[in-house]
Structure 1
Amino acid sequence: MTSPEIRRIAFLRTGGKQSSGYLIAPRLVLTAAHCVGGAGEVVQVRALRPGREGGLRASRSVEFRVIALSTGAGAHETDGFALLSTDRDDPFGLRALEPVRWGRLAGTDSLRAEAFGFPELADEQRGNLEHAVGKVIPCSGAVAGPEQPGWRLAFQVESGTPAVGVEAGALWRGASGAALLGEGHLLGVLTEWHPIVSGRLRALPVELLRDQKTFLQRMAEYGVAPVVFEPMWAGWQVLEPAYTPLPESWSAADLLLARHQVVEFAGREAELHRLMEWCLAPGRSKVSVMLMTGDGAVGKTRLARELCKRVAARGWLCGMLCPLAEDLSSLIEVDEDRLIVVDDADVQVGQLDVLLRRRSGHGRLRLLAIARHADQWWTTFHRRYDELIEERPLDVAPMDTATREAVYAHAHAAFLHKQREAGAAPEAADFGRVTSPEAPADLADPDFSSCLFILILALIDIRQTLEPAWSGASGPGGAGTRRQALYEQALDLEREDWIKHAELAGLTADPVLLDRVVAVASLAFAGGDTDGHMESEAARCLRMVPDLADATELTRRRYVRLFQERIHGQGALRPLRPIRLAEHLAEQVIRDFPETVAELLDLPRDAHGSPEDAARQALSTLQLLNAVVFGNGVARSCDEVLHDALHEALRLHAPKLVALVGKVLEDRDNSTGRSLATALEGAFAWLPDGRIAAQAADELEEACPDALLSMARVLHTRAVDYYSQEPHTAQARSKLGTAHRRLARVLADAGFRRSAHHHAWQAVKHHSALVRTDGSYEHLLDKAHALSSLSVRAYDIGHFSESLDAAREAVQIYEELLRSHPDRRHHVHLSFALCNLSQSLAHLGRWREALQNATDALDLVTADLPTESTGPPVPAAEIAEAEAFARRSLARRQPQGGQIAEAIASAAHACRLYGQLRETQNGRTWDGDFAQALVVLGRRYTDNREWDKSIETLSQALSIYRELEHEYQEAERTRHADALRDLAEAHLGKAREHGPDESSSLDAALHRAQEALAQHDLMAQEDKYARRESRARTMRVLAEAELCRGRAEQARDHARDALAILQYVPDRAWRGRVNEARLRCVYGDALAELGDAVTAAGEYQLARDLYQVLDAEEPDRVDLELRRVGLRSRSTAERDSGRF
């Protein structure tokens, strides 16, 4: 609460009682109803006025009358609000005060608050003002039943809390009706003077006035603005409100900032209308994301803040997300409608991701992402959250000439008013020279497409009018283009403030030195656990200022403190704002000292510093540098010095930076790591030197976490390009083949399966060529890895024969290498290859071979595993992963040999192993593998008719897939669809077994099968093609469920459509033909139900013929397949004359 607001505190006396109140308008006092009598009662009111020597004194009494009483709160209506007015016009001189801001408590965390009142015994029974500081505790006033008096706010006093007891409680008598304020908003009035808990007072929330129409109408009659109850919560440190007051000691740069709204918002009504409709229009989805783009300083942030202001007036929680916020849980969990603006979203993509992945609450959520361009970062983000994203981004165009003139006029008037008000103009200023401004003739020029430049021009024009001798652009950077001149003139005004306060602090006031200090502070970040540690780190950072390299630590600390006072913000090092000024200043300093960039990115500087702090430092540097070097969207900066400085810094430190990202992303919710990965991706994508990217790619694990996939794609793609252009020596070709293989893995994890298959094939081609000329151990091992990769990539896109051939050849090479090098690592490699071979064999119907290979794979990493390795040690996690993979593979194969109980045990063991790996993390997530193991276990429970266990296990897998799909999108969508289908089959089996009593299970089967089809509809086109058989199988399950429900027409349609799909799948394997036979049975059943017996008999005959062929290929398998889903055996079907 700022000091002028104390003038609102009122001292009331009536009928021998004293109490407190709050002046919500010059002639209106709000208090508690029990403090006064009925309507018309006279109350003597005094307020605080400036006194002698800067103190405060009470004014003379003014007669007020009670003009309105609100109805009480609760069943007994024990209390309410009272409104007092006077006939005198502004008796206490309050006209200059801003309108009251009304608040309501939101969230479940305590909110810092304060109360101002006049208790009788506060100070020797003189009735002096008491300022109590404490916190408001949410939910503590909840009503337990209809006999309770009505809900209250609980205000826990933490400043000078009196002792418990009646006498001590009497110290608060007279404070009733006092204003309770939090974050500058009026939350309520105190209603009970006695503490119900030690130091706790009760207050009546002003939100109760929401439904008091008569009361609110009387307030409006006396000039009170329409009341909006803004949600107030304890998380304001992570969400900055739309506008904040201008600091008392402001500088020129502060006047330019949108957050202070010194200049009235003008124009952009069409854009605002669209944004308001996006936020508030009924029928929209609960969660929605919109991208707003536009050139730098065109006015995007100003538009977003005005949107926050207007939406907050509708009761929403609105604000700008703090870029330094780490813990977003309070914002995620608060149960309110929320509008969250993420500025510079291209470098804060980690925060966007956390907000969406962990979203909760019942309220609506709108995320407005602001960036200059929709580059690769947005393409990646859009793929991940496509169902939540507004399809049409809002591109903010430059303002038209009329709006520019209006903005200039508003800015000129506002800046002049602030200069006069604060006496901030120079001594030579002549305010008499200032007349009503005429818009400059060149406002239509492209230079003034930026709102910031218009504001700077107004500020400069005022200064030049007040002081004609002032020319500006006298700073160290000089002036070049018109834009550069405007930047320099704005900085010149800011330098005056820096120089003035540096001299007052006894520091060297050289403008060149001060520029360099501010530039480094804008590029760096000082982390630490305490304020002292952060200041030490900030002082260490300032050693990168050439002029301060040899200065004492105390001197550097004094510069840190100077700019903490002069540049308002968060953190020990304060970046200059507006950001465009910081970018311009950084350009000048880096041009003079290009080595500074390499120093900034040489991380970590402190062996005891945390990886999180180092990542924030790198992010701060790259955020500014990417904008400076590549802000114009071209691959080569117009300034060679800046471009080469970044190039050299990445040449020296790129591998360390990539490793740093991997380290911090061991915590999957680390937003800094995700944002840094995006910033590095941008730098690597633009820099022409592929060698840097190729070297950095070596720091990545082959199994990248989701947050690194996009950056990994860029690095491995650049590595492939780089090695492709190198002379084809054996070493370069080997690296090229490895780069292709790694890129194939990354592309597959990102959902680009066809491209992944292409690069996997390229890897095999290059390594095979090397083996033909040099069959060394290294080349053979590389070829085996490439073949194993190709086997998986071919299977992903439905090339099963190719997958089988690649897997078999990989196994042959691994077996040869194991014989010549019998160490543990080759056991692991061969085990994985045998599992891949088993999968390909099983799909082609060769289940005996598949079972044997899966059994051998498990033996290799368990019974046959050497106790010691002759080669490099193999981490225990790799052995555990290989065993879990082999047991999962074996669990898939065992039912085909009738070993269902053994399959359940194998799958359960795999789940336990993956569960243990999930707890260790080791830099990657095992959620996908764990979910696959759960699906296999659920299927085995289905085989064994343990429906409840199957449903529980598959439901657990689905909960993981829902989370994974927000991270890996298409990469996990195919497995997600299969898990939904398997769950539908489990529900269907339960419904069939229990009959009509299990209608809920049948409903669940229908619902899950429909969800699975929806997942197929969302798949990428290449996945839709590769997963045609899976879709047909899902449609068969849906048809069976519809048939059980008695909806034969729907069952017929689904079965017919599924059969039509299978017609276009050539060379189907044994397993696929089994599905077709079952589909024809279901289709025949549906036709029979509809009375088409002839066609039904034809379908049964086709099914019988197909089963006979299948039985000849794999004896006894048909009976097993039929028993799995509860159908009759083939022999029974034949006895029933073709009716299954």
Structure 2
Amino acid sequence: MIPGRWWRPAPRNPPHQAITDRTDPFLPTGYVVSHTGPVWAEPFSVGISGYFHGNVFIGSPAYRLTGAGGGVPRAVESLRLSELLDPRHRVVPFVGREDEQRSLWRWLDPPHAGLRSVRLMYAPGGQGKTRLADRVGATAQEAGWTVLHASCEPLTPEPRSGPSGGSDNDGALLVVVDYADRWPAGALPSLLTDPLLHGGGQVRVLLLARSPGYWWAGLRSWLTGVGMPADEFPLPPLAADPQARRRLFRVAVDRFASLLPDARPAEVVVPRLTDPAYGTALAVQLAALVAVDVSRLAGSTAPSSLVDLYGHLIGRETAHWQKLRRAGVTTSPTQQLDLAVVTATLAGPVADDAAGEILRCAGAEPTTIRALLTDHTACYPSYDQESVLEPLRPDRWGEAYLALAVAGHDWWSRHPPRSWAAGVARALLRAADLEPATAAGVRARALTVLSEVATEWRHVATRVLLPALRADPALATAAGGAVLATIVDLPDMDVELLAAIEPHLPPGRHSDFDLVARRITGRLVEYRLPRCGDDAERARLHIDYGRRLARAGDRHAAQAALDRAVAAAEAARAADPGPTTAVLLAWALHLRGHRLAAVNRSAEALASVERAVEILDFLAGDDPAYRFRLAETLDNLGIRLAEVGRHPEAEVAARRSVKLFSADAPSPAGEVGRAAALTNLSAIKAHQGRADSALRTARRAARLWRRLSDEQPAVYLPELALTLNTLGLRYAESGRLEEAVKATAESEEIYRELVDCNPVVFELDLAAVLANLSGHLWRLNRRAEALRTHAEAERIFTRWGGADPEVFSPHLREVRQNLARMVAEQTPVYLYRWEPGAGSFGS
């Protein structure tokens, strides 16, 4: 390993997609969609990964790994007052957490967690997560472990410090990941599949986060699927009761008094520690720091509220700037430094070449920017010495500083807000006139910080964040699905704003947004349905919600929503017979067919789709405008007929679908429909024993899907994966087993990328591909690989079978029967139900 470099995991297979400069209109600004996957490079060549926005430019790597203690420590005596609270400086001696340390050491112990394990440690900000992880890491390092820190700061430069310890990973490795809940989708799975974590020794990954949101549910499911145990470790309050708080307060007072000149610890007044505001370690240490500082000032009284404690620190920061200016160390006036601090809290840390742009965007005078940046760095030196605009640490302190700067809080008389602060926040959210890469990162970080602050300080939500989103609803997607989920849960989020955000959600499948899109659509449907007096509109609402539910993997709820859509469409057609309501009913029936099939109700699915075809067949006879819908529904019908064994009829329907999709002038929608129909036609031909013809059709489909996925990978990559699985089966049926393995392995690789972000939707498809791949490997006498691959498929089906036996137990029975045949050294039976039909794109 080269110390201090950015790392990406090595690919299991060669690259499977090309870089394109097409813009995905539903790609959030500056946010990497993990469907595209990383782009790999051979040794000593350049790998490009990043954002596409008009012209292609290079974005930021997924993560970096650095050795514990990689930053250059500063002397405690050089720290300003508020820096004494920063957990990275370890000023206050570590107190308590004996039970938690023992629990973490048991987790590190090999007999308790196996070779590799992941643990999420979560607690509100200020509860001591970083200090505890630091403590455990230091002890682990003394015991011979290699300890690395993983970070994901998109605008910081490449660090020079490198991983400590050896690089061959023969020994035990602990990786600590702070802010895990802020990582972009796909970045954590990329880290967890890094080759560094899969050497020969023990590996433990400790994730730190404020809460286990839906990001963790998806990640944990994926971890289970790849055989890496994962658990949660809710960190209880360090200062849970007054006695513990008093102990922590006294330790902190003694330490701060030893560092601050003229301190009089005997005169320190203990605050009312029974107040729930002192429930975090940071709050108690803040109270101790302010109490010691006040003891140095004759006639002063220590503040009593948490807000006033932060206000005291703000006053001391201002005094620190003025002292430096009088000494000639800095030249910037107080208001300019204040603006730089607010900007750094929202956008930092960043590389030096971006910092000037960002300060200009925030409203700093262009002629003073270089001096201001130098002065801010003098006041707030970077921890890693490689970036500038270092934000206030710890995070809670920076968030309080920002919140008190924004007008609208209840403490105006004691902590006057800055009239320009809200404008700075809005300017950074717009990020106008910044370079595209810089603008993308600034928007994402500012939105992330504001969403966190808004959960604790309501006026920031009502005065800054939500008005900014009302002015530009597209901004809501700028930092990804997890941040949008935080925003959606704000108390002042109203349905009008949700409705404004809704059009900016990806209209189709999008792994990072599928779950939060379901929540937004659900809340809007709940609001709109009672106010909707039109059956046709009700049907459309149920259709939209059903599609969102299906993309989020909620199969039963999606099927129920489409049942309601069909009922509403029936009522609309009865009240107003005509082509419009007839097409609406046909569309609802068509979609319900997909949803019924997804829960193994094949006969009902077929009946629903047959009705849809009957309606559209009648309409298309008079008006070619309905041909496209008929083609899509015929494709669906072919799948449903094949599922119940009516293969000759299925082929007739599939051929009609291909013909209709090919009848009109070429169009993107027609190409998508034709590719799906060809994929399904290939499977139907194979069912009838026509291996060579099936293979030719599958290859045609794969060429179409590959071109489409190269152009829009975030949209079409799942269909390419599905078709490659079909292609592998066709190769195997023709005796071309090496080609079967190659195609199926590429399908597996794509599905693993998709499962990284949404295991609920894609994990069963991955299991199906693994089961088929194991059969190909077995026939090539690669028996050990075949059994390992098959075992992973069985684990996935077993887990899903336990969660929903009615739907998934048949798959589990079949995979076990297949294994029995393999062990008996018979030719494995390929289960065609594991060849999922290419879904109609509109479905």
> What TM-score do you get using the length of structure 2 for normalisation?
0.79
Distance between the aligned counterparts of 2:493 and 2:433, measured in 1? 35
Aligned-pair distance for 1:905?
0.6
What is the letter of the counterpart of residue 474 of structure 2? Answer: P
Q: Does 1:619 align with 2:444?
A: yes
What is the letter of the counterpart of residue 534 of structure 1? Answer: A
- Per the alignment, residue 1123 of structure 1 pairs with none
Q: 2:646 aligns with which of 846, 853, 857?
A: 846
Q: 2:176 aligns with which of 328, 335, 341?
A: 341
* Structure 2 residues without counterparts, runs of 5 or longer: 6-62, 409-417, 834-843
Q: Does 1:719 align with 2:524?
A: yes
* Structure 1 residues without counterparts, runs of 5 or longer: 1-106, 112-233, 421-429, 474-480, 632-636, 662-672, 868-873, 991-997, 1056-1069, 1073-1140
Percent sequence identity over matched residues? 23
Q: Does 1:972 align with 2:800?
A: no
Counterparts of 1:29-108 in structure 2, within 5 Å, are 107-108=1-2
- Per the alignment, residue 680 of structure 1 pairs with 484
- Per the alignment, residue 692 of structure 2 pairs with 901
Q: 1:766 aligns with which of 540, 563, 568?
A: 568
Q: Does 1:451 align with 2:451?
A: no
Given that 2:517 and 2:548 are in contact with CA atoms closer than 8 Å, whether structure 1 keeps it comes out as yes
Distance between the aligned counterparts of 1:236 and 1:795, measured in 2? 45
Counterparts of 1:685-834 in structure 2, within 5 Å, are 685-686=489-490, 687-729=492-534, 734=537, 736-774=538-576, 779-815=581-617, 818=620, 822=624, 827-834=627-634
Change (3 A) 1:297 1:1071: closer
Given that 1:887 and 1:907 are in contact with CA atoms closer than 8 Å, whether structure 2 keeps it comes out as yes
SS where residue 698 of structure 1 aligns? Answer: helix
Query: Cα deviation per residue 1:144-184 (whole Å; 9 max; x = unaligned)?
Result: xxxxxxxxxxxxxxxxxxxxxxxxxxxxxxxxxxxxxxxxx
Counterparts of 1:884-923 in structure 2, within 5 Å, are 884-921=675-712, 923=714
Change (3 A) 1:517 1:1041: closer
Which segment drifts farther, 451-460 or 244-253?
A: 244-253
Distance between the aligned counterparts of 1:793 and 1:334, measured in 2? 49
Distance between the aligned counterparts of 1:942 and 1:262, measured in 2? 65
Given that 2:432 and 2:439 are in contact with CA atoms closer than 8 Å, whether structure 1 keeps it comes out as no
What is the letter of the counterpart of residue 766 of structure 1? Answer: A
Distance between the aligned counterparts of 2:372 and 2:180, measured in 1? 31
- Per the alignment, residue 729 of structure 2 pairs with 939
Aligned-pair distance for 1:909?
1.8
Given that 2:117 and 2:205 are in contact with CA atoms closer than 8 Å, whether structure 1 keeps it comes out as yes
Given that 2:343 and 2:359 are in contact with CA atoms closer than 8 Å, whether structure 1 keeps it comes out as no
Q: Does 1:372 align with 2:210?
A: yes
- Per the alignment, residue 484 of structure 1 pairs with 307
Aligned-pair distance for 1:486?
1.6
- Per the alignment, residue 188 of structure 2 pairs with 352
Given that 1:258 and 1:301 are in contact with CA atoms closer than 8 Å, whether structure 2 keeps it comes out as yes
- Per the alignment, residue 37 of structure 1 pairs with none
Aligned-pair distance for 1:853?
0.9
Query: Cα deviation per residue 1:622-661 (whole Å; 9 max; x = unaligned)?
Result: 3333333324xxxxx7x46743643322222223433xx4
> What TM-score do you get using the length of structure 1 for normalisation?
0.60
Query: Cα deviation per residue 1:669-722 (whole Å; 9 max; x = unaligned)?
Result: xxxx5xx32111111133441232233222233332222222222222222223
Higher share of residues assigned strand: 1
Distance between the aligned counterparts of 1:486 and 1:918, measured in 2? 55
Given that 2:798 and 2:812 are in contact with CA atoms closer than 8 Å, whether structure 1 keeps it comes out as no
What is the letter of the counterpart of residue 133 of structure 2? Answer: A
Aligned-pair distance for 1:288?
2.3
Change (3 A) 1:250 1:413: same
Change (3 A) 1:788 1:535: same
Change (3 A) 1:109 1:751: same
Given that 2:732 and 2:740 are in contact with CA atoms closer than 8 Å, whether structure 1 keeps it comes out as yes
Given that 2:801 and 2:812 are in contact with CA atoms closer than 8 Å, whether structure 1 keeps it comes out as no
Aligned-pair distance for 1:483?
1.2
Change (3 A) 1:781 1:249: farther
Given that 2:122 and 2:212 are in contact with CA atoms closer than 8 Å, whether structure 1 keeps it comes out as yes
Higher share of residues assigned helix: 2
What is the letter of the counterpart of residue 497 of structure 2? Answer: I
Aligned-pair distance for 1:335?
4.4
- Per the alignment, residue 575 of structure 1 pairs with 391
What is the letter of the counterpart of residue 580 of structure 1? Answer: R
Change (3 A) 1:816 1:286: farther
- Per the alignment, residue 132 of structure 2 pairs with 303
Given that 1:242 and 1:259 are in contact with CA atoms closer than 8 Å, whether structure 2 keeps it comes out as no
SS where residue 522 of structure 1 aligns? Answer: helix
Distance between the aligned counterparts of 2:695 and 2:369, measured in 1? 66
Query: Cα deviation per residue 1:591-619 (whole Å; 9 max; x = unaligned)?
Result: 34799658735677456645553343333
Change (3 A) 1:691 1:602: farther
- Per the alignment, residue 554 of structure 1 pairs with 367
Given that 2:392 and 2:398 are in contact with CA atoms closer than 8 Å, whether structure 1 keeps it comes out as yes
Given that 2:110 and 2:202 are in contact with CA atoms closer than 8 Å, whether structure 1 keeps it comes out as no
Distance between the aligned counterparts of 1:794 and 1:328, measured in 2? 51
What is the letter of the counterpart of residue 759 of structure 2? Answer: Q
- Per the alignment, residue 34 of structure 2 pairs with none
Q: 2:341 aligns with which of 515, 518, 526?
A: 518
Given that 2:65 and 2:151 are in contact with CA atoms closer than 8 Å, whether structure 1 keeps it comes out as no
Query: Cα deviation per residue 1:525-565 (whole Å; 9 max; x = unaligned)?
Result: 587xx734431222221x2xxxx6xxx32245544443232
- Per the alignment, residue 360 of structure 2 pairs with 539
Aligned-pair distance for 1:262?
1.8
Distance between the aligned counterparts of 2:819 and 2:758, measured in 1? 27
SS where residue 398 of structure 2 aligns? Answer: helix
What is the letter of the counterpart of residue 970 of structure 1? Answer: V
Distance between the aligned counterparts of 1:1071 and 1:467, measured in 2? 80
Aligned-pair distance for 1:889?
0.6
Given that 2:678 and 2:700 are in contact with CA atoms closer than 8 Å, whether structure 1 keeps it comes out as yes
* Higher Cα Rg, which structure: 1
Distance between the aligned counterparts of 1:594 and 1:376, measured in 2? 37
Aligned-pair distance for 1:263?
1.8
Distance between the aligned counterparts of 1:590 and 1:819, measured in 2? 64
- Per the alignment, residue 473 of structure 2 pairs with 654
Given that 1:691 and 1:719 are in contact with CA atoms closer than 8 Å, whether structure 2 keeps it comes out as no
Q: 1:281 aligns with which of 101, 106, 110?
A: 110
Given that 1:942 and 1:986 are in contact with CA atoms closer than 8 Å, whether structure 2 keeps it comes out as yes
SS where residue 385 of structure 1 aligns? Answer: helix
Given that 2:318 and 2:334 are in contact with CA atoms closer than 8 Å, whether structure 1 keeps it comes out as no
